[in-house]
Amino acid sequence: MNGKKLGSQGLVVSALGLGCMGMSEFYGPTDETESIKTLHRALELGITFFDTADGYGWDDVGPGANERLVGKALGKNRHEVQLATKFGPLRSRTESLGLNGTPAYTKQACEASLRRLGTDYIDLYYLHRIDPKVPIEDTVGAMAELVKEGKVRFIGLSEAPPEQIRRAHLVHPITALQTEYSIWSREPEIEIIAVCRELGIGFVPYSPLGRGFLTGSMTSAEQLGADDWRSHNPRFSETAFQHNLKIVEEVKRVAKANGCTPAQAALAWVVAQGDDMVPIPGTKRIKYLEQNAASLDIKLTKEDLEQINEISPVGATYGERY
């Protein structure tokens, strides 16, 4: 897999990353052994960009289970990979406890992530969500100090609006913005992608498969278990689900025309949106990891792209993201 420059500060990552969140929480039962095998297989496929966060997963040790898993699986290959993690949201095992973007907590959170990941530096450190009580300049200023100390190589933002991106970038160059982007989540096209391109900030689409919806494997919201976060998500209510199936039908049509799976067609669409994009589809199974990696070989036609744009323009999806 070819490397790709992410942003304009020198970070090079694999053209496709791996979102690791579901290996520890949110999407039904987890299996650490299978997840570790999946992480190792990713390396074999040339995937070197791995995304986690301090708020993903909770085990007997406490929060940060996903960071511990990623660190355990990739520790021997630390020099070959680019680790991205995030901080900001506070939580207990069962509920959100707000946000903390204070400079003191920024440094405290980084130290904790370094311990869990088993490393002395983080390649890309994101502010996961902006704390409205703390000026973005203060939070990013603390992140910049972590760069000076060698604990962080590059910094990023997640789900940040244009004004905050600009303010943050004045304090320290932002290497990447991570936000949800897919065929059914196209809101970043309104302004955010343009701002990133203006400032030389790389774009990292998460949930590029619409949290699994665009894979075409689901036909009803009733398929989701009670321990699956999507069962409480507005877009996966039965009414929204049935309304949005027309988007999946178009993705299936494009997939059939290109001899690939719907998931591969959906990923190929994201990749086609620009060379500055590095999607991070999440999976905890080798089978789907291999399919995702193969999507880089699929080149959708101009007609394919136009048909998808027609059936799923910005705002066409029924239901809020959260």
Closest by Cα among 248, 304, 247, 246 to 271: 304
Residue 167: count other Cβ atoms within 10 Å of its Cβ.
Answer: 14
Calpha distance 105→128 (Å, rounded) = 13
The 3 state secondary structure assigned to the chain is: CCEEEECCCCEEEECCCEECHHHCCCECCCCHHHHHHHHHHHHHCCCCEEECCCCCCEECCEECHHHHHHHHHHHHHHHHCEEEEEECEEECCCCEEEECCCHHHHHHHHHHHHHHHCCCCEEEEEECCCCCCCCHHHHHHHHHHHHHCCCEEEEEEECCCHHHHHHHHHHCCCCEEEEECECCECHHHCCHHHHHHHHCCEEEEECCCHHHHHHCCCCCHHHCCCCEHHHHCHHHCHHHHHHHHHHHHHHHHHHHHCCCCHHHHHHHHHHCCCCCECCCCECCCHHHHHHHHHHHHCCCCHHHHHHHHHHCCCCCCCCCCC
**Residue of 56, 125, 181, 206 marked catalytic:** 56
Q: In the annotation, is 121 catalytic? A: no
Nearest-10 crossing angle of helices 32-44, 65-74: 50
Calpha distance 156→187 (Å, rounded) = 19
Residues annotated catalytic, as ranges? 56
